[in-house]
Structure 1
Amino acid sequence: MAALVTQGAPRAAPSIVLPAVTAPRSASRRLAYPRRADGATRVAERWAPPTFVVAPEPTPTETLVQALDTAYRSAPSLQAQRYALRSTDEDYALALAETRATSQLQLTGGYTRTDPGDLTESRRSLADRLLSPNVVDNSLSAELIVDQPLLTGGRAAADREIATHTIDAGRAQLRGTEGDLFLQVITVYADIRRDTRVLALREANLKQLTTTLDEVRARQEAGELTRTDIAQTETQYDVAAAQFNTTSEQLQQDRAAFAALVGRDPGVLAPEPNLPQFPSSIERAFVVAARLNPELDQAIASERASRSRIAAAAAEGQPRLSLRGTATLSGQASPLRARDADHGFAGQAVLTVPLVNGGRVGALVAQARDRNAADRIGIEATRRQMVQAMVASWNAVAIAQRNQSIQTSQLGSARVYDEGTFEEYRAGLRSTFDVLFAHAALRDAEIALVASQRDAYVAQATLLRRMGVLEARSLMTGTPLYGPAENLREAVARGARPWDGALRSIDAFDRRIPEQGGIEQPAIGTTPPALAPARTVRELEPTGHSPNLPLSGTIGAPRAATTVRKP
């Protein structure tokens, strides 16, 4: 009997109270049990075995494609990542601004009043002293400065490459976010489908157990069974009721997860469709993943960006050349007469040559090289994680498919076992325990098959996610796709000039391509590796002691209470 009460829902969850599911405690009918010539007891011929009828699924109102389409359009996580990518696009616009002309206008106005001393007063004419006892001076000057960079030592070109690769990494991250969202939607969709079907099976099981319990009680009243048979049946009914409650709560949790991802409560979900793009072999999956996996693309783009940062760091020590034009206007502010003002125009070529920087440039270059080495190693780490996840997903699909074949055969055997056990029970050849055990075995086989079907489907979606094809452009048609390139074009066009391309070509003339050095690894020794000496761990006693003395300076002390004097 222990095997009967340990069968649970596909996923454990706290039970909820459902008023409709309570164990019946009184017999609903009385039956007569005639005896055969040999003295054995048998069930009345007019009594039919308890039927197991699963309620038919209602007409679907929602498909998986509709759920994915809604999530693609409105999921907050995906929208936030899109705006994060838009902000990254502006990095390229900032890099373009480094080779564009800048201009500024400076206006300076001044007023001075001087009370002349004897020496100054003696130098002034009599008329000036009579007309203005004080010396007053006011001035106004305007200066327009235009600066056009020509050579930045390769810094502007390197910044443009950094921005380009950073945008590529951001787009790959956006694809990864989209794939994660779709995988979550598919998973919760399959969970709702599974738990809905399991709930229907458990509800039908409760109805069948109710009929069985009535039969057992009727036989007990006829003196054919004992209270042990009643207790066995009631126990199994209570277990089934608890499993029904658990599955009901799990279904509500899945529906809440669906609403969080899609933005609305789910309707009646249609059966899961076959997912497109599934590979014919694991080798084909690896080929596609090497080209489309978003995490691998992001790692490669990040490495390229850090490689360009080496050139940007080296450009800090390179000469810079710019053209500067200045127009000035200076004169008296009051009264303001343009013809009395002085006009000046100047043009300059400014060459800045760094000489001594205290080792700053060398430190920046070394820092950039080390970060690039870390990113290069990160590519291999990402590739290994991708391969591991793909192998696990592929095997999960294969095992789930094998389990479905086994469980389909098991389900057929369990049906024969259940029907035969009950027929033998009617003839008095089987006990109540045998009937309940057969019922439980059949229900467990049905639920296990439903769970395996869900596991296979989710594993297929997980494999597609790791391949990089679990996204709108590969799964669906008719959904307007988000185009990240449009925002980049707007950022590039902002402030553009017809001669920008020529100036960027001039600036890139002295750009130096950084060389990648080798990645240092620990030296290979001739001594074979061995584990350091260790002592055998003695038998330990459990302890309830936990050190709770905080480190010095890591916790505050309460302030001393102050005495308040009443007036």
Structure 2
Amino acid sequence: MLVAFAPTAQSQTLTESLAAAYNTNPTLNAARSRLRAIDENIAIARSGNRPRLSAAFSQETNTSRIVGDRGFRGTSGSNPTQVALQLTQPLFQGFQVRNTIRQSESAVKAERASLQNTEQSVLFDVATSFEDVIQNRSIVSLRESDVEFLTAQVQAAQDRFEVGEGTRTDVSQAEARRAQAVSALAFARANLSSSEATYRQLTGLDARNLKNNFNVERLLPKSLNSAIDIGQQGHPAIIATLFDVDTAMFNVKAIEGQALPSVNVTGQLSTTWNQQTNVDRQDAASLGLNVSVPIYQGGLIAAQTRQAKEQLGTSRIQVDLTRDQVRQNTVASWASYDASVRSIFAARTGVFAAQLALQGVVEEQRVGQRTTLDVLDAQRDLVSAQVTLVQSERDKEVAAFALLGAIGRLGVETLGLQVAVYRPQEHTDAVRDKWFGFRTPDGR
């Protein structure tokens, strides 16, 4: 009774699958964690301007023994205890701290753009696996129908052979085609299991009654030139490389600052007990200004500066390389999408023609104008056309998502997913000005 009255499984939509991946995908969670770790570099850089306070405690036992020409003269000892407190406040460090802070902020912005690019990759993989499951299930259904049809043909050929209207060749041909269909069905089921496993890995969901409820075509640009412009202006990969240039530039300035003077104010308080036999306690205080001027460090700073400048040049070249890659991906994705749209019309025409051909061949076989082999060939052509149509429909959807990702628009806000959007700025604001505390903002 429980089985008989169990509710029918609800459809699992593409938007639900994308939202599930956005919330739970391990690749995305790892990228977000990596960004939060990089956020801490801002606080680390800002600590260079803050005071440093340290305390020291020491306890000693001193014993001395005096021996003269006439033998033992005596011993003396002391047990000094000292407590000291030292405060150091940096005043000037060759602009290193300021440039290091800017470098860290640029690195954070670059990593945010990289996170957006990772989000695009994950969402595209989810859409692809979703369409793969739908495609492979359709192909399995077609292969099963093909096996049923060919099984009926084998039985019909056997019946005709038994009454003397057919030959053993007809039976063998039908059995051979059925064996091929059974093999193709086994491969189709294996592909389905693989695509379902991939879908489960990406979304954390079991592939059930999948239904594509999302019209991605409405988000695509109207022309190739428009797609190229959008990709060049806002693709996350390009934005990340632009911030990488800023990061490398501030790194050069920070290293150059090591060759400039540094100024610190140092204050110290100390108390010592039982320092000498006739002194029970001694208090001391000091305040000083320390200026350090580097003159020559064996060429280390010069070499590091040259190295940083070469890295800056590499970052600038990487911007041009990334722009070219984005353009190439955009053009290729546009061509793939356009070709898949055209192929669907041809595939539908092929299926319609193959269906008519099969019906005609079956009728002609009944009146003796066609052979069993003709029917088997017509059935094979129909199944091939149906599989091609299924693959073309899948390719069109995947190509549309690929084009959306190629121009940098494959994000949760563009797709309109019903999820709590991850805001990396919130974590940055929570940690950039923290003076103390070992716990992360989420309580770890």
TM-score with structure 2 length normalisation?
0.91
| Among 280, 290, 314, the residue aligned to 2:256 | 314
Once the 2 structures are TM-superposed, how far is the Cα of residue 61 of structure 1 from its aligned partner?
Answer: 2.5
Equivalent position of 1:474 in the other structure: 414
Secondary structure at the aligned position of 1:117 is classed as strand
1:251 aligns with 2:192: yes
Superposition pairs of residues 97-108 of structure 1, within 5 angstroms: 97-108=47-58
- Does the CA-based 8 Å contact 1:292-1:467 persist in structure 2? yes
Once the 2 structures are TM-superposed, how far is the Cα of residue 334 of structure 1 from its aligned partner?
Answer: 10
Once the 2 structures are TM-superposed, how far is the Cα of residue 241 of structure 1 from its aligned partner?
Answer: 1.1
Whole-angstrom CA distance in 1 between matches of 2:397 and 2:368: 45
Q: Deviations over 1:74-114 (max 9, x none)?
A: 11111111111111111111000001111111223322111
Distance 1:134 1:246, change over 3 A: same
1:363 aligns with 2:303: yes
1:290 aligns with 2:240: no
1:261 aligns with 2:202: yes
Whole-angstrom CA distance in 2 between matches of 1:186 and 1:477: 13
Whole-angstrom CA distance in 2 between matches of 1:79 and 1:336: 67
Equivalent position of 1:26 in the other structure: none
- Aligned partner of 1:468: which letter? G
Equivalent position of 2:350 in the other structure: 410
Equivalent position of 1:149 in the other structure: 90
1:77 aligns with 2:19: no
Whole-angstrom CA distance in 1 between matches of 2:143 and 2:384: 10
Once the 2 structures are TM-superposed, how far is the Cα of residue 396 of structure 1 from its aligned partner?
Answer: 0.7
Secondary structure at the aligned position of 2:186 is classed as helix
- Aligned partner of 1:474: which letter? T
Q: Deviations over 1:401-458 (max 9, x none)?
A: 1110111112221122111111111111111111111111111111101100101111
1:459 aligns with 2:409: no
- Aligned partner of 1:297: which letter? I
| Among 55, 80, 98, the residue aligned to 1:139 | 80
Equivalent position of 2:111 in the other structure: 170
Once the 2 structures are TM-superposed, how far is the Cα of residue 204 of structure 1 from its aligned partner?
Answer: 1.4
- Aligned partner of 1:390: which letter? T
1:65 aligns with 2:15: yes
- Does the CA-based 8 Å contact 1:190-1:272 persist in structure 2? no
Superposition pairs of residues 195-234 of structure 1, within 5 angstroms: 195-234=136-175
- Aligned partner of 2:224: which letter? I
- Does the CA-based 8 Å contact 1:109-1:333 persist in structure 2? no
- Does the CA-based 8 Å contact 2:173-2:373 persist in structure 1? yes
1:235 aligns with 2:185: no
Whole-angstrom CA distance in 1 between matches of 2:293 and 2:173: 94
**Count of aligned residue pairs for this structure pair:** 428
Distance 1:400 1:465, change over 3 A: same
| Among 36, 39, 51, the residue aligned to 1:86 | 36
Q: Deviations over 1:502-525 (max 9, x none)?
A: xxxxxxxxxxxxxxxxxxxxxxxx
- Aligned partner of 2:356: which letter? V
Whole-angstrom CA distance in 2 between matches of 1:446 and 1:59: 27
Superposition pairs of residues 496-511 of structure 1, within 5 angstroms: none
- CA RMSD, aligned part only? 2.2
TM-score with structure 1 length normalisation?
0.72
Once the 2 structures are TM-superposed, how far is the Cα of residue 311 of structure 1 from its aligned partner?
Answer: 0.5
- Aligned partner of 2:262: which letter? R
1:180 aligns with 2:180: no
- Aligned partner of 1:277: which letter? L
Distance 1:482 1:439, change over 3 A: same
Secondary structure at the aligned position of 1:343 is classed as strand
- Aligned partner of 1:320: which letter? S
Give the unaligned 5+ runs of structure 2.
Answer: 1-7, 437-444
Distance 1:205 1:281, change over 3 A: same
Secondary structure at the aligned position of 2:296 is classed as coil
Superposition pairs of residues 11-26 of structure 1, within 5 angstroms: none
- Does the CA-based 8 Å contact 1:92-1:492 persist in structure 2? yes
Secondary structure at the aligned position of 2:61 is classed as strand
Higher Rg: 1
Higher helix share: 2
Once the 2 structures are TM-superposed, how far is the Cα of residue 163 of structure 1 from its aligned partner?
Answer: 0.6
Whole-angstrom CA distance in 1 between matches of 2:188 and 2:277: 91
- Aligned partner of 2:169: which letter? T
Whole-angstrom CA distance in 2 between matches of 1:371 and 1:336: 64
| Among 303, 318, 325, the residue aligned to 1:378 | 318
1:483 aligns with 2:423: yes
Runs of 4+ aligned residues of structure 1 deviating over 6 Å after TM superposition are 119-122, 333-337
1:450 aligns with 2:400: no
Q: What percentage of aligned pairs have identical amino acids?
A: 26
Which has the higher mean CA deviation after the structures are superposed, 178-187 or 465-474? 465-474
Higher strand share: 2
Equivalent position of 1:4 in the other structure: none
Equivalent position of 1:546 in the other structure: none
Equivalent position of 1:280 in the other structure: 222
Once the 2 structures are TM-superposed, how far is the Cα of residue 272 of structure 1 from its aligned partner?
Answer: 4.9
- Does the CA-based 8 Å contact 2:42-2:105 persist in structure 1? yes
1:397 aligns with 2:337: yes
